[in-house]
Structure 1
Amino acid sequence: MKTLLKIIGIIILLIIVYAVIAMLAFSKDYHYEKSIVINAPKEKVWQYVGSLKGYNTFDPFSKTDKNIVITYSGEGNKVGDSYHWKGDKNVGEGEQAITEIVPNEKMVTRLHFIQPFEGNAKGTFILTPEGNGTKVTWMIDNELNTMMKIMKPMMDNNMDKMFGQGLGDLKKLSEK
């Protein structure tokens, strides 16, 4: 019994040490990006990346809730256009609005998360020619509060999975 209590005590101590190190050492600025090369011209890829409606055809986050409700404001492809989503506890609620657009090259959006937690982030897609195809880079930037710093490794893992799935779906759509 004493050995079991020692093991539990050591595990708890390690968790506390990790949490303190994470809060002190990890930057409050969070940046994640992932790229893929798609065998299609950037104009074809832009159909999906250059509008909010196109984005939602490959966005893995909204696909996790089959009953998600998405309401668009504007056509979805101009600065100021936006959409609001409301889904289950896994998807939450929020808004995404276009803040910058360079046709066939770049789209920047502001994400406002309402539920399950309040927060803001910046999403960016950049398209660059690569050989006969198009390199698509998907980025997200936001600021982490102290408690979120502890979750950074889990966030990186989740972003890698979701961005990978989304870029893979974008590649399938664009290469048809």
Structure 2
Amino acid sequence: MKTILKILGVIVLLILAYAVIAMLAFSKDYHFEKSIVINAPKEKVWQHVGSTKAFNEWNPFAKADPNIQITYSGTPGTVGDSYHWKGNDQVGEGEQTVTAVVPNEKLSSDLHFIKPWEGMAKGNFILTPEGSGTKVTWAMDNELTTMMKIMKPMMDSQMGKMFGQGLDELKKISEK
């Protein structure tokens, strides 16, 4: 019994040490990006990333709730193009607004997360020629709270999975 208690004590101490180190050492600035090369010209790929409505055709976060409610506003593919989503606990609620557009090259947006927690982030889609295809980079930047720093490795894993699913779907529909 003493051995089990000692092992549990060491595990608890290791978890606490990790939490303290994460809170002190990890930067509050969070950047995540993932890229894929698509065998299609950037003009064709742009059709699927150049507006919020086109993005939601393959957006893995929106697809996580088959009953998600999405309301669009603004002119598609221009600054101010936006959508508001409201979904289940996994998807939450928020809005995304296009803040900059360079046709066939870059789309930037602000994300406002409302539920399950309040937060802001910036997103980018960058298209660059790569051989006879197009390299698409999907990036997100935000600021982590002290407690979120502890979850950074889990966030990286989840973001990698979701961005990967989305970019794979984008590749599939762009190469048709």
Shorter-chain TM-score: which interval?
over 0.9
Partner of 2:124: 124
2:59 is matched with 59
Distance 1:81 1:4 in 2: 58
Structure 1: gaps (5+ residues) = none
Q: Residue in 2 aligned with 1:146?
A: 146
Are residues 1:46 and 2:29 paired?
Answer: no
Could you tell me which residue of structure 2 aligns to residue 105 of structure 1? 105
Number of aligned residues: 176
The answer for the alignment partner of 1:90 in structure 2 is 90
Aligned to 1:33: 33
Q: Determine if the alignment matches structure 1 residue 69 to structure 2 residue 66.
A: no
Offset, 1:123: 0.5
- Give me the whole-angstrom Cα distance separating, in 2, the residues matched to 1:81 and 1:131: 31
How far the C-alpha of 1:74 sits from its partner, in A, is 1.8
Structure 2 distance, partners of 1:77, 1:3, is 63
Cα distance in 2 between the residues matched to 1:75 and 1:12 = 53
Which runs of structure 1 show a deviation greater than 6 angstroms over 4 or more consecutive aligned residues? Answer: none
Provide the aligned C-alpha RMSD in A. Answer: 0.5
CA contact (8 A) 2:109 2:122 kept: yes
